[in-house]
Amino acid sequence: MEFDFNINHIFPDEVTLIGEKSPFRNKTNSRLLERNLQIVIDTLGKRSAKAQQLTGSITTFLKSQLNNHRLFILKDDCANNGLGCVIGFLKVGKKRLFVLDRDGNHNEMNPLCVLDFYVHESQQRKGCGLCLFKHMLSMEATKASHLAIDRPSHKFISFLKKHFNLWATIPQVNNFVIFDGFFKNRSDMVRNSSSGSDKISQFRPLSRAVSDGIIKRNRQSDHTVMSTALKD
Ligand code: ACO
């Protein structure tokens, strides 16, 4: 994706992380850079939504800031006569979820989730997605099997199988997909010392009645969020 301004002024690295704080705070032309960043992110969000046949963008500059999402942006610095171009992006963020395990427990967790992922059509199947994904795993100090994925497309499912040998084995009741190994060796799990048992306590298994009630409420609020997103 080419723009009529210099991409290299906004994204210094081949893969640049845009987090909750503005990267331009101490720069003299920060307003202009921020406006251009907004144009790029909003454009990426629209392209991704179109590629996934969604009726509205799930990624915008404002939503990403409000929700503390982290965006990894891949660029080609030489394209467009040196102005550079944007090849794709990957968006992650933590979400409070109820995750079903093999025993049918709903576990209350706060895992890192992949929320949006897009590579420009002209650059797909050339390894750009993998480059973004590996960079994210390294920056977030996690592994692919520990992520929850929000409504993965068939291309993304194929990508995860090919590059990370991941298979979704436990169907979930929400839109998120988890893979074999999700519950294994998580660094965000702590042992429950108060009970003296070996049970992992960072995620709490809930009784069926309690979790069904929470899931129902979540579905209703999900619906509200989606309707808001679709109106944008
Ligand atoms: N059909 C099927 N599988 C595909 C396709 C396709 N058209 N394109 C990529 N893949 C998968 C395949 O496994 C492919 O391997 P193969 O070519 O040997 O079959 C592998 O991805 C290629 O890996 P990369 O080149 O590293 O990935 P790429 O740069 O193509 O990026 C991505 C993958 C981001 C999924 C890209 O295809 C894309 O933008 N798709 C459209 C948008 C989309 O579906 N995004 C995911 C939405 S779900 C979410 O974000 C939570």
- Is residue 38 situated within a structural domain? yes
What CATH number did the domain enclosing 61 receive?
A: 3.40.630.30
- 69: pLDDT strictly greater than 80: yes
- The mean pLDDT value of the chain amounts to 84
- Record the tokens describing residue 131, joined without a space: 């480059």
* Ligand 1 proximity of 133 Cβ (cutoff 6 Å): no
- Is residue 212 situated within a structural domain? no
How does 34-68 read in b/e, with b if 16+ C-beta sit within 10 Å?
A: bebbeebbbebbbbbbebbebeebbbbbebbbeee
pLDDT at 58: 96
Report the number of distinct structural domains present in the chain: 1
- Is residue 45 situated within a structural domain? yes
- Is residue 194 situated within a structural domain? no
* Ligand 1 proximity of 149 Cβ (cutoff 6 Å): yes
Residues 208-217 pLDDT 10s: 555 555 455 5
Mutate to test the pocket of ligand 1, among 91, 112, 124, 174 (most ligand atoms within 8 A of CB): 124
- Is residue 205 situated within a structural domain? no
* Ligand 1 proximity of 150 Cβ (cutoff 6 Å): yes
Which phi-psi region, left, alpha or beta, contains residue 176 (left: φ > 0; alpha: ψ -120 to 50)?
beta
Q: Is residue 158 part of an annotated ligand binding site?
A: yes
- Is residue 1 situated within a structural domain? no
Residues 12-39 pLDDT 10s: 999 999 987 767 777 778 889 999 999 9
- Is residue 199 situated within a structural domain? no
pLDDT at 205: 58
pLDDT at 207: 55
pLDDT at 201: 44
Q: Domain containing 86: what range?
A: 15-179
Which phi-psi region, left, alpha or beta, contains residue 197 (left: φ > 0; alpha: ψ -120 to 50)?
beta
- Is residue 163 situated within a structural domain? yes
- 196: pLDDT strictly greater than 90: no
pLDDT > 90 in the chain, percent: 65
